[in-house]
Structure 1
Amino acid sequence: MRLAPYAVRPETSRGRLHPEAGGDSRSPFQRDRDRIIHSTAFRRLQYKTQVFVFHEGDHFRTRLTHSIEVAQIARSLARALSLDEDLAEALALAHDLGHPPFGHAGEEALNAAMKPYGGFDHNAQSLKVVTALETRYAGFDGLNLTWETLEGLAKHNGPLRRPPPYIAEYDRRHPLELGTHASAEAQAAALADDIAYNNHDLDDGLRARLFTLEEAAALPLVGEALEEARADAGPRAPPDRLASETIRRVINRMVLDAVAESRRRLAALAPRDADAVRAAERPVVAFSDAMAAVNQAVRDFLFRRMYRHWRVNRTMAKSKRVVQVLFSLLHGGPQMLPPEWRRRAGEAGSPEAARVVCDYIAGMTDRYALEEHRRMTDPDIPG
C-alpha cells in the first residue's frame, strides 16, 4: 500500500537505542510487532483482567483479547488513512503490557502503595516493560524497539507536560519529544483502544447480565443499531445474537466516523510529513464532536451500570486487598522475592525495594497473584 506523506515511513525510522543489523526482509515496525508478540509480557495478558477476573468466565475479555481487538481496529483505521499499518498494530498490541493484575483495581492499589515513590502509571509501566523489564536478548535489556514505537507508547494519549517518573527518566537517556503529539499511527491505536474498550465492555456487561439490551438501547447510536439488527435478524432472533449484531454495528459506525473526521482534519492541516502531524495543535485522528459525545455517553453508562456494579465492586475490593497485602509483605521482606528480583531490591522498606516489588507485582497475572497471596498468607500452604 502506498503511504500518505504524513505517515511514518519505515525507511526513515530514527532507529533503535542499541543499533542492530537488519538481517531480513521485515520492516523495522514489523520486527517491533513480532518482538512484542513473542514477549513474556504479551503472553501474560491472557490471564490479566479487563473487568472480570479470569476465573469468572471463559468468554469475558482479557487484556490479551482486548489488545487483539484494538490491533484489528487500528489496522483498519491505518489502512483507510494510508498510514503504516505495522506501526499502528505494534502500538495496539503493546499498549497494555504494563497493566497489573486485576485491571484498574490492581492499578489503583499499586498507585496508592507507590505514592511515596512517584506512584504507578500503566502507560509508563508499558514503556518500562519494553525498555527494561523484558530480558530475552543478549545485547540489551528490553526489546530495543524503534524510536517511533517507543514514542507512540509514551504519548499516544497526547503530549506529556508532566510525564510520570519512568517516562521522564527514560526520556533523559533517549529523548522522545514528549511535548508534541505522537504520530498519526499512534493516534489511530489510541482511538482504536477507545472504540474496542467501550464496545466490548458493553458486550461483556450484557453477557454478565449487569444490564439488559433494552437498557443499553437508551444510549445514542446503540438504540439505532439495535433497531437495524432486529430488522435484519427478524423478530425471533435470540438476545445474544441481537447483542452481537448491535455491537458490531456500533463499532462500524464509530470506525467510519473516525475515518471521515480524520480525513477532514488531515485535509485542513495538509501535513507534509509525520513531523507536521506531531507539531499540530490537536490530534489528526479523532471522532467528530457528535461521535465523541456518543462515546462519552457509553462510557458514562458503563461507569454507572458496570464498573460500579455491586458485584464488580465486591470483586475489585478483594483484588485490591490481594495487591495491597503482596506489596506490604514483599516491600517489608524482599528476601521473599525470587532470586533474580531479590538481587535488585536493596534493603527492606527502601525506595529501591518498592520499585522492584512494584515491577514484580505489575507483571503478575490474576491467577499468579492469587496463588502468591495464598502462599504468603496461608500457613498450611508451603511457600
Structure 2
Amino acid sequence: MANDLKDCAVAGGTLDPLTARIYPAPERPSRTAFQRDRERVVQSRAFRRLAGKTQVFTSRSSDHFRSRLTHTIEVAEIARAAAVTLGLNEDLVETLALVHDIGHPPFGHAGERALDQCLRRHGLIFDHNLHALRIVEHFEQRYAAHRGLNLTLGVREGIIKHSRDYSAAGHPELAQYFLDEKPPLEAQLIDLADEIAYLTADLDDGVESGLLEIRHIRENVTILGRCYQVVEERHPGVEEKYLFHEALQFMQNFLTDDLIATTLANVQAIGAASLEEIRRYPKRLAVFSAQAESERLEEKRYLYDTLYTCDSLEREHDKAEQVVTALFEFWMRDPEELPRGHFHDIETEGLARVVADYIAGMTDSFILEQYAQVKRAVRR
C-alpha cells in the first residue's frame, strides 16, 4: 500500500508554500523543513511541560498513568505508522502529532473548561488549538531575532485545523490558514490517531486505577470484547490482565488499519490525485469505516459514563475547576501579583487573556503550588 497517496501528500520541499516560515531561516540540506519543525517542537519548554499535565487522572496516584506527554508520544507512533503506510509526509505527520496537545492547560479538560468559563465572563473564549498557535508563534522564545518557534505554514495550519474547522467569518485573524479548504491528509490523520490512542490508553489506565473492571469492559465495549475473545482463544489459560493488555493492542491495530484502509478507499473513490483536490473536497477523507465509527462511539460513551464522570474523577474535576477559577479571579483582582514578564502583554492582549495564558502554561504541580501560596497570602 506504500506510496499509494504520494501524489496527494504534502511535498515538504523548499519550493512548497507550506514550508514557508514567518521569518527567514537558513536552509539545512541535511534535514527537511518539517524535520526541523519537529526538533523545534521537541526542544520547546511547552512540550517539556506536557510531562506534568493531566491526561485523565489529576491525582496521579500511580506512576503508570499517562501524562499529556506520554499520550502525545503514543499519538505520534500511531499517526506516523498510518502516514508511512499511506505514503504521506511522515515528518509533517509526526510533527503535528507531537505538537497537537501543546495548548492544553493543567488538569486536562476540567482545566480547559474552567479557563473557558472564566474568559467567557470577559467576552473571550479558551480554545486549546488556538492557544497552541499562540504558544508557537509568541510565547516560546528561543531565537535572538524573533519571538516564537518560526514553524512552517504547514505545521501551523495543522495545529489549528487537525481536529476542527474554523470559519473565516468567525476568525478573520486566521485568514492565512486556508479556512475555506480542508487540511491536508497529514493533518486529518492526527485527530483520529488521537482518538485511537486515548480510547486504548483510557481503558488501560481505568483498569490500572481500579475504577474499571476487565469483565465489565468486555461485556459492554463490543470492539474490546471481540479482540479479547480472539486473544483468549490464541492463549488459553493465560492470566486475565495479560490477555487484556494484548486485546488492547489488538484493538489499537484494528482501528489503525481501519483508518488507513478507509482513508485510502475514500481518496480513490473521489479520484483525488493531488493535494489541491483533497483540500477542495467538502468532507474530510481521513475517517473510520461505518463499523469502526459505530464501535468507537460506543466505547467513547462507555468511558464517559463509567470513567470520566465517576464520583472520584468528578471530585478531582471539581477541585481542578476550583483551583483554576480561584487563581484567575485572584490575578484579575491583583494583576501586580503576576510575574513581571507578563506585564508588557496586558496593554495589547488585555488582562483576562494574559491571566489565562499564564495559567494555561502551568503544570499540575505548579498550579497547585501557586494555589497554596495564594491561599496563604489571602489568610494573612
Give the alignment's TM-score, normalised by structure 1: 0.93
Q: Give the 5 Å matches for 1:252-271.
A: 252-271=253-272
**1:144 lines up with 2:150 in the alignment:** yes
**Matched residue SS, 2:357:** helix
> CA offset at residue 24 of structure 1?
4.0
> CA offset at residue 163 of structure 1?
7.7
Amino acid of the residue matched to residue 214 of structure 1? Answer: R
How far apart, CA to CA, are the structure 2 residues paired with 1:296 and 1:202? Answer: 14
Describe the shift of the 1:351–1:76 C-alpha distance in structure 2 as closer, same or farther (beyond 3 A): closer
Identity in percent: 36
From 356, 365, 379, give the equivalent of 1:367.
365
How far apart, CA to CA, are the structure 2 residues paired with 1:351 and 1:7? Answer: 37
From 214, 233, 257, give the equivalent of 2:235.
233
Instruction: Report the counterpart of residue 161 of structure 2 in structure 1.
Output: 155
**1:122 lines up with 2:128 in the alignment:** yes
Unmatched 5+ residue regions in structure 2?
none
Give a deviation string over 1:183-209, Cα, whole Å, max 9, x none.
Answer: 100011121011111111111111112
> CA offset at residue 212 of structure 1?
0.8
How far apart, CA to CA, are the structure 2 residues paired with 1:239 and 1:57? Answer: 21
> CA offset at residue 61 of structure 1?
0.6
Give the alignment's TM-score, normalised by structure 2: 0.94
How far apart, CA to CA, are the structure 1 residues paired with 2:322 and 2:139? Answer: 25
Give yes or no for contact 2:104–2:128 (8 Å, CA) kept in 1: yes
Instruction: Report the counterpart of residue 95 of structure 1 in structure 2.
Output: 100
Give a deviation string over 1:145-178, Cα, whole Å, max 9, x none.
Answer: 111111111111243226876xx42x25xx0111
Instruction: Report the counterpart of residue 16 of structure 2 in structure 1.
Output: 13
Give a deviation string over 1:289-318, Cα, whole Å, max 9, x none.
Answer: 110111111100000001100000001100
Q: CA RMSD in A?
A: 1.9
Unmatched 5+ residue regions in structure 1?
none
Instruction: Report the counterpart of residue 288 of structure 1 in structure 2.
Output: 289
Q: Give the 5 Å matches for 1:113-262.
A: 113-115=118-120, 116-161=122-167, 168-169=172-173, 171-172=174-175, 175-218=176-219, 219-235=221-237, 237-262=238-263
> CA offset at residue 284 of structure 1?
1.7
Give a deviation string over 1:187-243, Cα, whole Å, max 9, x none.
Answer: 1112101111111111111111212111111211111111122223332x3333122
Give a deviation string over 1:49-89, Cα, whole Å, max 9, x none.
Answer: 00101532200011000100000000011011100001000
Aligned length: 373
> CA offset at residue 272 of structure 1?
2.4
Give yes or no for contact 1:158–1:181 (8 Å, CA) kept in 2: no
Point out the more displaced range, 350-359 or 80-89.
350-359
How far apart, CA to CA, are the structure 1 residues paired with 2:28 and 2:269? Answer: 40
Give yes or no for contact 2:168–2:179 (8 Å, CA) kept in 1: no
Give yes or no for contact 1:36–1:90 (8 Å, CA) kept in 2: yes
Describe the shift of the 1:89–1:164 C-alpha distance in structure 2 as closer, same or farther (beyond 3 A): farther
Instruction: Report the counterpart of residue 55 of structure 2 in structure 1.
Output: 50
Question: Which runs of 4 or more aligned residues in structure 1 lie more than 3 Å from their structure 2 counterparts after TM superposition?
Answer: 162-165, 379-382
Describe the shift of the 1:258–1:163 C-alpha distance in structure 2 as closer, same or farther (beyond 3 A): farther
How far apart, CA to CA, are the structure 1 residues paired with 2:94 and 2:59? Answer: 25
Give yes or no for contact 1:121–1:164 (8 Å, CA) kept in 2: no
> CA offset at residue 133 of structure 1?
1.2
**Matched residue SS, 2:181:** coil
